[in-house]
Amino acid sequence: MRSIIFIIALALCGCEFGTSTVPSYPGSSSNSDSWSPAGDSSSDTERPDQCAPVSTLSCGSRVFGDTSNFNFGTTDVFDSYPVAVGNYGGHELAYAFTAQSSTAAELRFVDPLPGYLNLDIFVIAADDNSCSADSAIARGFNDLSFEAIEGRTYYVIVDGSEDNEGVFELELSCDGEELEDDVLDLVPEVPEQIVCNQERVAGSSYERLLELTELSSEETIYSTFERIDRIATIFESCGDTWGLFPTTYRHITARIIRAIETEEIQDSEWGHAIVLDFASRYFLALQQALSGDTPSYAWEQYYYLASAPDVSRTRAVLVAMIAHLTLDLPHALVAIDTTEEDEDDYYVLGELMIEIVDDFLFELREHYDTDAEDILNGFFFGDWIDGAYGEDTTITLNYQTIRAKAWNSRWLLQQPWGGWAANSEIYSAFWAIDGILATLDAAGTI
């Protein structure tokens, strides 16, 4: 059934799919940053109580991780440490650091939110370079310092309780060097007290949302994620359905950043550029909606649906995804001067979005009581429940087809004569999908 749907969709879009690259995950043989204990590439000496570093750190390193997402290389082998009291039953992430010279090393979280997510930093050091919790020498809540000895390998662990797993950004500095963090300082914090009014963000918290959409000229992929994450957190705190999309988007952005760091996306410059431009289009749409201005037709429809009490939340979040994929994505590709040489990275990026579906399905249920599993499994994987959605849905609402069309629309937009044709196709595709979702909503299917 899945093959038939794919073949029909391919014929209808008239597109040619590029070769997709299988991502290499931390610890795989294709990852140049993978690590094994004591530098031994053999797996014969691996023990179940040993950590598995996902990459190496050096002085000046800054890494982005997520202890709640196995795609980041998490393990669950440490539950306690001799330097700390308490249970650390959550998943952990490990990194290796070999000191090139004796130095005062400092590890710290960038813009931690301990009231929202309570993770700790541990340093492990053993004479045989093994990585066992029994060899922990230091613990820090948001930062810690230790004296690193030249030539010695240290293991840096980020860990928390079962209730404290999530996203973090960690940096390592040496000999008191000050790393530049001005960019992240530009991202407004989540208010300590979030103001809500009947499940809508209100008052000063509403103003904070507006501030979070105001971009600087110094944005990075990390500040971009922080903006999305903080916007999602504010909306979720009130159960405000305008936050349906950022709840999903934070996971998508986090996974793409991880792919850039691990070189699953080969052209790092292109990867950085697409994250920044793609997200800027969402920030602009949200800013316009919050300010009472009119965003693009696609985003205007999302905010209308997300505000309507009689509209399925599943329908609303799907419309946001379609708006971002059909309208924003091809224009973002054009804006960053994408060429045919970027096609492999483009399709790798698309596959990454599929990997984290379960993560944002969980958060949609958790924060918005929305069960979108059946239709999103159909959309992303082609796993449709027989007869439940109808032939029009299974053909038109197809992620593979939509992203292929976005790639083709990018090419049309880049031609002097192709703008009108591309925009007409984008417009028609969006409203065709919106119509199908409206029918499913009216029938109570979603």
Please give the residue that has the higher pLDDT: either 307 or 167.
Answer: 307
Alpha-carbon span 443 to 446, nearest angstrom: 8
At 114 the pLDDT is: 59
184 has pLDDT over 60: no
212-228 per-position pLDDT tens digit: 999 988 888 888 998 99
pLDDT for the residue 431:
94
Q: Whole-angstrom Cα distance, residue 48 to residue 56?
A: 21
Determine the pLDDT at residue 141: 86
Q: Does position 357 have pLDDT exceeding 70, yes or no?
A: yes
Q: Give the span between the Cα atoms of 7 and 375, in whole angstroms.
A: 20
Q: Which whole number is the average pLDDT over 81-92?
A: 88
- Strands 93-98 and 136-140, bridge-based pairing: unpaired
**CATH code reported for the domain at 37-179:** 2.60.120.380
Q: Please state, for a pLDDT cut of 90, what percent of the chain lies above it.
A: 44
Per-residue pLDDT, averaged over 145-158, amounts to: 92
Whether 246 has a pLDDT exceeding 90, the answer reads yes
Question: Are the beta carbons of 71 and 46 closer than 8 angstroms?
Answer: no
- Identify the CA nearest to 262 among candidates 95, 39, 37, 20: 95
Sheet holding 136-140, edge to edge: 55-57, 93-98, 153-159, 120-124, 136-140
More confident residue, 349 or 425: 425
Q: How many residues does the chain have?
A: 446
Is 437:376 a contact under the CB 8 Å cutoff?
A: no
Q: Are 367 and 244 in contact (CB under 8 A)?
A: no
Distances in Å between the Cα of 99 and the Cα atoms of 64, 106, 154, 172, 441 are 21, 12, 8, 12, 59
Q: What is the pLDDT of residue 296?
A: 96
Domain ranges of the chain: 2-19+185-442, 37-179
pLDDT digits (tens, 9 = 90+) for 26-81: 333 333 344 443 333 333 444 556 888 988 898 888 888 888 887 788 899 999 99
Bridge partners, residue 56, by sequence: 96
User: Which range has the worst mean pLDDT, 164-178, 179-193, 214-228, 260-274?
Assistant: 179-193
The more confident residue out of 116 and 408 is 408
DSSP state of 325: I
The mean pLDDT value for 257-281 works out to: 90
Q: Which two tokens stand for residue 344?
A: 């492999």
The average pLDDT across 431-443 equals 89
The pLDDT of residue 157 is above 90: yes
DSSP letter at 72 equals G
* 3-state SS, one letter per residue, for 102-139: CEEEEEEECCCCCCCCCCEEEEECCCCCCCCHHHEEEE
Computed over every residue of the chain, the mean pLDDT equals: 82
Spatial distance between the Cα atoms of 178 and 429, rounded to a whole number of angstroms: 50
The closest of 285, 278, 277, 280 to 242, measured between CA atoms, is: 285
Please give the pLDDT value at position 443: 84
Which residues on adjacent β-strands are paired with residue 229?
none
Confidence at 106, pLDDT banded by 50, 70, 90: very high
Could you tell me if 137 and 81 are in contact, meaning their C-beta atoms sit under 8 angstroms apart? no
Give the per-residue pLDDT at 183. Answer: 47
Say if residue 397's pLDDT is above 50: yes
**Counting runs of H as helices and runs of E as strands, what totals does the chain give?**
15, 9
